[in-house]
Structure 1
Amino acid sequence: MELTSRLARKNLLNPTFASLWIIMFVVEFVKGSLIVAILPVYMGDVLKLSAFAIGLSFSLQYIGDNVFRSPAGWLIERIGFRTTITLGLCITLGAVSIIAFLHTMGFLVLGCALLGIGTAPLWPCVMMGISAVTEQSKNFGTAMGVIQISSLGGTGLGPVIINFFVDGSNSYRPVFWFLLGCIATIIVVSLVLPGKKPVHLSASAQAVNTAGSTQGHSLWEGGVLNNIRKTFRQVRDNLHVSPLLYPSLFLQSFAIGLLTPVITLFVRTELGFSPETYSIMLIIGGGITVIGLIPIGKLVDRFGTRWFLHIGFALSATSIGLFSMIRSTPMIWMLVILIGISYALILPTWDTMISHMLPKGEKGTVWGLFLTIQGSGMVAGPILSGKLWDLLGPPAPFVASSTAMVILFFLHIALERHESSLSR
């Protein structure tokens, strides 16, 4: 009860934030189910498609999600918060329908691309919503921790739960109907989000409404191209951040992207762990991260971001680097725990730091731009990871990820000095 009352006082228990939490969880649940548990087997074993078709489909999903985040942020300012996210969810519903019912390679590739495009508005909308509802209470870190739980929880639970629906058979029709039902449900949920015109909105919803319609922007007013040019001028004139922020955004996700395609193979072949042991490892490491998100978010709101990111980057760089070299089982488990702690320190704190750098106008566009740059690391990381594994050996992607975190540690020090000089 005490936690609930505190959250209520902090304006997190409101329809806007709760709707965002549910939408984030279900979207990540659906994506995790498709990408991890369904599509590799469904496209390969059931539809007998080539590895090239599977790889192309996955690549287009990631590229669509990443490239369209900036336009999505721009659209929030023009057509409103609710319309943008509902439109994205409708595209997602169409994408899953194409994947489920049209079985040719061309349609499946198209479906995966549309899946990325449809989910692209999610993070810009969520960031705008959190920025707005926490503007008065100054608890962005706590809110970010709560949202990260929904994201990580959906991604992790999706593949686990969906396997009960598959049940060892090759019939995926019930699975697809279940996922389509999930998306249809959150489309209904999205309709309670604030739009451009406040009608009996709560204070938090009015804040999101204001954030999504800054300065009376309209998509068609003055022409779309003229609107885009005005946006670029406004962002250029009002966004005063260090140039070092842009490589920092890239490296933050690049370090994770380097490990994504090789971690399972490394644990199985180099460390000799069984699938069951690896699953326990993921549960422990991920569980520590999830448990730490809200407490760390609360501490960040109280004490600032500096030392949490300093410690997080240094701890992550050290533990990931050692993970590639050490073969002692007790030490490996200790490193898994340290990696979990390091990401609990980084995840809510990084986005809180970014939120402090946003200009007063065009917040949606800037969030979209930052998220696109950050997401590009998740596109580039897996591509380079395989090459490093083949050319330099299995430890190479881990050493590269550790090196990226070291560089990020020093870039963050420089960013802190730049922000301190601007505040004087």
Structure 2
Amino acid sequence: MLWNQPTLMLRLLTLLVVSEAAHFGFFVTALPLRADTLGLNAALIGTLMGGHYLADALSKGPMGYLAGRYGAGWLLLLASVSGLMVMLLAQGSLLGGGAPPYLALLGLAGLWGVMYGSLWPIVMGYSQTLARPERLSRALALTSLAVVPGLALGVGVLGPLMQRSEDLGINVLLGLQGSATLLALSVVGLRGTPQPPQTRASLSELLRQWRGVGLLLPAALAQTLAPGLLVTLLFPLLELLGLSMLELAFPALGLLIGLGLTLWLAGRMADRTCPRRALLPGLLLLALSYGVLALPHPETRLWAALPLLGVGYGAFLTGWNGLVGQVLPQGQRMTGWGTIMTVEALGYAIGPILGGLMWTAYGHTGVFATGAAVFVITLAYYLLTAPSQATQPRHKAPSL
């Protein structure tokens, strides 16, 4: 078992997956598919989504601080309730009750974004606090992948379901968000991160504690910018390659196998030795895979590039999460996770803009060459400036 108190951690992970499923289901599936019924055009939907995601990204640091300082459970409940309010407001319109007041929907979506900003810092903070010290990298890497089943359920399952039966799809969406609210109620008593014995630190001590976090921020921006280059280019790339989604499935299976195997094997190495021993080779493999795809006729090399990409991401994820877990100040982990995730969100925001420019100017070669360059620069940055392994003291796991 990766964590102490596995039942508590299972509830938090389930809450995270269900919340992400409802989150993606509403913004990526329900809104675009039912835009006409809601009386919204593409510009209004874009504003709604952009405002929500901006509020989510910018609030992660402050909400992490509030969760660590004053308690996490009530913030998780507020995040779930605010999402339920947005969906209930839109429900009448989605079921034919007329267009909702747009400003009210926009305001509630912004409130949901602020509250939702607490979810990832809290779950990552508790995953770190509850993780067995000898399995920290693997526990954090697995937690960070919880978004994948949420995305698959909210888009891959709910999308076709809503296309077949709108009423059933909407009810399933409300059921997901209602389930998230019930799960949040089950952990409403969660407190903040246990504080170290010396609760009042000097300014120099605070600067020392946060110096390692500060050194990670430029790399956090760069390493999310690179995959962000491809966010809006999936279907143009498939058209260029002459492939359908079904035809991509077999090479993608190699990516998933490489990711799964490396996630565990590299995680064992990162936990037993040093996270950088997984992180640095992972970045090198990511740069190589992007470089291979930047060459002409990338469709002839997918069989090699995608498994290589999976191996690279598996090593990178375990190394990165293990390194962050070692660097964050013990009593301020949720604040630290929130701060790093805010910077990561900025990387995902900049990536599609840069990717679109490179695609327009240089095609797929420009996009993948830019990604490879970003990974190489990030690798060089870690070699020159990233903090080395630091041993965290064992701590008592929190309880309800």
Alignment TM-score > 0.5, same fold: yes
1:237-291 deviation line (CA, Å, top 9, x unaligned): 63232754221111121111111111321122x2111232235554553454245
The alignment status of 1:157 with 2:157, answered yes or no, reads: no
Distance apart, 1:149 and its partner CA: 4.0
- The answer to whether the Cα contact below 8 Å between 2:279 and 2:318 also exists between their aligned partners in 1 is no
Inter-partner Cα distance in structure 2 for 1:177 and 1:84: 25
Distance apart, 1:93 and its partner CA: 1.8
Q: Aligned match of 1:419 in 370, 388, 399?
A: 388
Amino acid at match of 1:368: G
1:39-66 deviation line (CA, Å, top 9, x unaligned): 32222x5446332223222322321221
Inter-partner Cα distance in structure 2 for 1:287 and 1:232: 47
Partner of 1:261: 232
Classify 1:231/1:64 alpha carbon distance in 2 versus 1 (closer, same or farther; 3 Å).
farther
Inter-partner Cα distance in structure 1 for 2:114 and 2:202: 22
1:298-323 deviation line (CA, Å, top 9, x unaligned): 33212321121111111111111221
Q: Secondary structure at the match of 2:3?
A: coil
- The answer to whether the Cα contact below 8 Å between 1:235 and 1:362 also exists between their aligned partners in 2 is no
Q: Aligned match of 2:52 in 52, 56, 61?
A: 61
Partner of 2:395: none
Inter-partner Cα distance in structure 1 for 2:194 and 2:169: 35
Q: Secondary structure at the match of 1:195?
A: coil
The alignment status of 1:34 with 2:26, answered yes or no, reads: yes
Distance apart, 1:377 and its partner CA: 0.6
Counterparts of 1:47-58 in structure 2, within 5 Å, are 47=38, 49-58=40-49
Partner of 2:380: 410
Amino acid at match of 2:138: T
Distance apart, 1:378 and its partner CA: 1.0
Classify 1:16/1:58 alpha carbon distance in 2 versus 1 (closer, same or farther; 3 Å).
same
Distance apart, 1:22 and its partner CA: 0.5
Inter-partner Cα distance in structure 2 for 1:97 and 1:116: 16
User: In terms of mean alpha carbon deviation, does 101-110 or 376-385 score higher?
Assistant: 101-110
The alignment status of 1:334 with 2:304, answered yes or no, reads: yes
Inter-partner Cα distance in structure 1 for 2:15 and 2:184: 7
- The answer to whether the Cα contact below 8 Å between 1:80 and 1:212 also exists between their aligned partners in 2 is no
Inter-partner Cα distance in structure 2 for 1:284 and 1:382: 25
Distance apart, 1:86 and its partner CA: 1.7
Q: Secondary structure at the match of 1:25?
A: helix
Partner of 2:397: none
Partner of 1:192: 186
Inter-partner Cα distance in structure 1 for 2:257 and 2:18: 19
Partner of 1:249: 220
Classify 1:92/1:280 alpha carbon distance in 2 versus 1 (closer, same or farther; 3 Å).
farther
Amino acid at match of 1:119: Y
Counterparts of 1:102-121 in structure 2, within 5 Å, are 102=93, 103-104=99-100, 105-121=102-118
Q: Secondary structure at the match of 2:211?
A: coil
Q: Secondary structure at the match of 1:340?
A: helix
Inter-partner Cα distance in structure 2 for 1:52 and 1:31: 20
Amino acid at match of 1:313: L
| Aligned length in residues | 386
User: In terms of mean alpha carbon deviation, does 343-352 or 148-157 score higher?
Assistant: 148-157
Classify 1:420/1:158 alpha carbon distance in 2 versus 1 (closer, same or farther; 3 Å).
closer
Partner of 1:86: 77
Q: Secondary structure at the match of 2:133?
A: coil
Partner of 1:206: none
- The answer to whether the Cα contact below 8 Å between 1:95 and 1:112 also exists between their aligned partners in 2 is yes
Partner of 1:181: 175
Q: Secondary structure at the match of 1:335?
A: helix
Inter-partner Cα distance in structure 2 for 1:124 and 1:294: 23
Q: Secondary structure at the match of 2:388?
A: helix
Distance apart, 1:133 and its partner CA: 0.7
Inter-partner Cα distance in structure 1 for 2:222 and 2:315: 16
Counterparts of 1:17-416 in structure 2, within 5 Å, are 17-43=9-35, 46-47=37-38, 49-102=40-93, 103-104=99-100, 105-134=102-131, 137-169=133-165, 171=166, 173-193=167-187, 195=189, 209=191, 211=193, 235-236=206-207, 238-241=209-212, 243-268=214-239, 270-282=240-252, 284-286=254-256, 288-290=258-260, 292-327=262-297, 329-416=299-386
Distance apart, 1:29 and its partner CA: 1.7
For the aligned residues, what is the CA RMSD? Answer: 3.1
Amino acid at match of 2:118: P
Distance apart, 1:350 and its partner CA: 0.7
Q: What stretches of structure 1 of length at least 5 have no aligned partner?
A: 1-6, 197-208, 218-229
- The answer to whether the Cα contact below 8 Å between 1:257 and 1:380 also exists between their aligned partners in 2 is yes
Q: Secondary structure at the match of 2:327?
A: coil
Partner of 1:222: none
Q: TM-score normalised to the size of structure 1? A: 0.81
1:26-49 deviation line (CA, Å, top 9, x unaligned): 122222333443332222x54463
- The answer to whether the Cα contact below 8 Å between 1:30 and 1:158 also exists between their aligned partners in 2 is yes
Inter-partner Cα distance in structure 2 for 1:420 and 1:17: 26
